[in-house]
């Protein structure tokens, strides 16, 4: 009985000590929302990583964003710096090119972010060797999906959840919400 009581007391002491350390890792609501919206995909060359792309669906993080477009924070890592990511379609003279679309839509705009841009802090996993972009796509009803495609046809797909309260359809002035 004494051994069991001692074991329980030691376990409780260890657990309470460990739980106290978690207070140092609390996320604010915005970063927590970004972490839950985070998706990542990889394109392989055989069994080796060719390109890694990660994204946060910002419409989910910031519900006050206008619903006229879909906004993403995108991080790109490529093992080969000569590989290019195009957000508006392929320039077909490049063999080492990738394109990122939202479904079948090309980006309306894409801005590469500076290394010290505060928006990068929303990316749950960030590295100094990745390139970060603020990308805007046309708004389309339904589940947002980003598709990364290589010129040789390899693909990787990231599917995001619809944010709560997102406009699902518009028809002659009527608006439906999810």
Question: According to DSSP H, which parts of the chain are helical?
Answer: 2-21, 29-37, 58-61
pTM: 0.73
**Has residue 43 been placed in a domain?**
yes
Phi, then psi, of 80 in degrees rounded to 5? -115, 110
In Å, what is the CA distance from 178 to each residue of 157, 159, 169?
23, 17, 9
**Has residue 62 been placed in a domain?**
yes
**Has residue 47 been placed in a domain?**
yes
Return left, alpha or beta for 104; rule: phi > 0 is left, psi -120 to 50 is alpha, else beta: alpha
Average pLDDT of the chain to the nearest whole number: 76
Which of 73, 136, 132, 127 is closest to 101 using CA atoms?
A: 136
Strand partners of residue 133 = 74, 112
**Has residue 12 been placed in a domain?**
no
In Å, what is the CA distance from 100 to each residue of 67, 92, 122, 170?
21, 15, 20, 26
**Has residue 3 been placed in a domain?**
no
Which of 151, 159, 137, 129 is closest to 52 using CA atoms?
A: 129
Residue 20 has pLDDT above 50, yes or no: no
- Indicate the pLDDT class of residue 91, thresholds 50, 70 and 90: low
Domain limits for position 156: 28-177
**Has residue 7 been placed in a domain?**
no
For residues 157 and 147, what is the distance between their CA atoms, to the nearest angstrom? 5
Phi, then psi, of 52 in degrees rounded to 5? -120, 135
In this predicted structure, what is the pLDDT of residue 166?
46
Phi, then psi, of 126 in degrees rounded to 5? -130, 145
Percent of the chain at pLDDT exceeding 90 = 21
**Has residue 13 been placed in a domain?**
no
Phi, then psi, of 93 in degrees rounded to 5? -90, 5
**Has residue 11 been placed in a domain?**
no
Residue 72 has pLDDT above 90, yes or no: yes
In three-state secondary structure terms, 16 is: helix
How many domains is the chain built from?
Answer: 1
């Amino acid at each position: 009985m004494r051994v069991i009581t001692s074991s329980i007391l030691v376990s409780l002491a260890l657990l309470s000590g460990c739980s106290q350390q978690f207070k140092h890792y609390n996320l604010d609501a915005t970063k927590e929302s970004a972490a839950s919206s985070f998706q990542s995909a990889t394109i392989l060359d055989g069994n080796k990583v060719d390109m890694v792309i990660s994204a946060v669906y910002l419409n989910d993080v910031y519900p006050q964003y206008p619903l006229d477009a879909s906004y993403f924070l995108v991080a790109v890592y490529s093992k080969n710096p000569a590989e290019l990511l195009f957000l508006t379609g392929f320039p077909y003279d490049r063999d080492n090119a990738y394109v990122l679309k939202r479904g079948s839509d090309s980006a309306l705009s894409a801005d590469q972010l500076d290394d010290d841009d505060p928006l990068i802090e929303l990316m749950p996993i960030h590295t100094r060797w990745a390139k970060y972009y603020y990308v805007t796509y046309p708004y389309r009803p339904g589940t947002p999906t980003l598709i990364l495609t290589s010129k040789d046809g390899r693909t990787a797909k990231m599917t995001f959840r619809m944010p709560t309260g997102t406009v699902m359809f518009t028809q002659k002035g009527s608006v439906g919400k999810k």
